[in-house]
Amino acid sequence: MKKTFILSLVTLTFLSATQPQNSAEIMKDALAQMEAIANQVIDVNKSIVKKIPVTPLDINSSASDFTLGKYGTFKFEKMNDNVYVMHGPVVGPNKENRGFMNNPAIVESKNGLIIVDPGGNYNVGKKILAEVEKISKKPIIAVFNTHKHGDHWFANKAITEKYPNVNIYAHPNMIKVSKEGEAEIWYGILSRGTGNLEGTKEFAYPTKALNHLDEIEIDGQIFSVGHPDVAHTNTDLIIFHKNSKTLFLGDNLMKGRLGSFDESSSVFGNIELLEKIKSDTNLTLYVPGHGFSGTKNETIDPFLSYLNVLAIEGQKAYDDDLESYEVKEEVKKKLSWMTEWDAFEKNMPSHLNKIMIEMGERELNAEDDEE
């Protein structure tokens, strides 16, 4: 059994994602379905979206602790048998968090440690490595990077300094675009935002490519990966750790914070991916790129519900020939449960605009198909 159920579901998702809508009728049915799902999910959300978790400031913290001003102290938490996650501050990169705001994770094997997304720069990486050593003194034997954004992988540099031959796995698109300029762009963004990028160059790029449905065993731990053609970006790897039934979703899933979609993203692709994972999996742990890990309902429902509201309200505006800025206040009202999410005010309107652009592209594709 090479291919797991989780990966066949990712395949299905992307097959359907590439088929353009053929008629207004199909679109209408799909929207009605989405609306029904979104309404259910919003009800669930009301009860589960609590205050955004921030590690409380530990006034007894010692000099060796990883402490970031008002954000408090960060440690790896044991999530199940052999998986640990350090949940970073649920905010964008800034001077006070020093560029640490993602969720580095450890999978412990018999003889070593496997790291997922070690963090956003060399200096943060050194702090995180010190925390890794508090969990176990075993060597780091592999690293996974979920996608191209530097806040997830620039800390590879701290790992390669200590383990120069470690295998770092990522999707080939991630490796390609990072080397072709994306890493430099992210270096600029994070350097200006945090002032803490010293030592991060030369970049420690991933060294091994993994493609959609690849499965690898590392010291008895089995990982299978899925690559959604286009979702958060077109460089993502979704990593399934079979032994512990843990799914690392990278930034295809966020909680408590909204990131950004860019020209390499698809909001519809992100929705289709999460719908499929929601309907076809029941794992012990889902780890988002930002925000707290948890069960499927705790993690996937809030973000998916958000994206579905954008799809429904965006479609209504699109059909009425309105621009996204004309309806954003209305949409905000429908999302009153998430106004505490970091960057909601800034990013929601641009996400709405993005999905409406995708609607236009879909319509054009459908017209081309009919000709």
- For residue 93, give both structure tokens: 């990169």
Short-list 248, 226, 249, 232, CA closest to 171: 226
Give the shortest CB-149-to-Zn ion separation in angstroms: 4
Neighbouring C-alpha atoms within 13 Å toward the C-beta of 3: 10
Buried b (16+ CB within 10 A) or exposed e, 278-314: beebebebbbbbbbbbbebebbbbbbbbbbbbbbbbb
For Zn ion, the closer of residues 149 and 255 by Cβ is 149
Q: Contact region for Zn ion (CB under 5 A) — 5-13, 116-124, 145-153, 318-326?
A: 145-153
Question: What is d(CA 70, CA 51) in angstroms, rounded to the nearest whole number?
Answer: 16
Question: What is d(CA 288, CA 285) in angstroms, rounded to the nearest whole number?
Answer: 10
Residue type, 40: Q
For Zn ion, the closer of residues 106 and 254 by Cβ is 254
**Is residue 286 helix, strand or coil?**
strand
Site string for Zn ion, 37-76 (x = CB under 5 A): ----------------------------------------
* Residue 160 · residue 201 · CB < 8 Å: no
Short-list 277, 208, 270, CA closest to 245: 277
Give the shortest CB-102-to-Zn ion separation in angstroms: 8
For Zn ion, the closer of residues 93 and 112 by Cβ is 93
Give the shortest CB-283-to-Zn ion separation in angstroms: 22
Question: What is d(CA 17, CA 38) in angstroms, rounded to the nearest whole number?
Answer: 19
Give the shortest CB-177-to-Zn ion separation in angstroms: 13
The reply to whether 301 sits near Zn ion by the rule CB under 5 A is no
Size of the site for Zn ion (CB under 5 A): 2
Q: Are strands 221-226 and 215-218 parallel, antiparallel or unpaired?
A: antiparallel
For Zn ion, the closer of residues 251 and 342 by Cβ is 251
Given 87, 98, 126, 149, the residue binding Zn ion (CB under 5 A): 149
For Zn ion, the closer of residues 42 and 307 by Cβ is 307
Helices (H), the chain: 5-17, 24-48, 122-135, 150-153, 156-162, 172-177, 183-194, 267-280, 296-319, 324-334, 344-370
Give the shortest CB-262-to-Zn ion separation in angstroms: 9
Q: In what order do the strands lie in the sheet with 221-226?
A: 215-218, 221-226, 238-241, 246-254, 285-290
Q: Contact region for Zn ion (CB under 5 A) — 44-52, 111-119, 141-149, 160-168?
A: 141-149
Residues in the chain: 371
Give the shortest CB-233-to-Zn ion separation in angstroms: 7
Give the shortest CB-152-to-Zn ion separation in angstroms: 6
Q: Which of residues 238-267 bind Zn ion (CB under 5 A)?
A: 251
For Zn ion, the closer of residues 125 and 150 by Cβ is 150
For Zn ion, the closer of residues 251 and 313 by Cβ is 251
For Zn ion, the closer of residues 139 and 188 by Cβ is 188
Provide the binding-site residues for Zn ion, judged by CB under 5 A. Answer: 149, 251
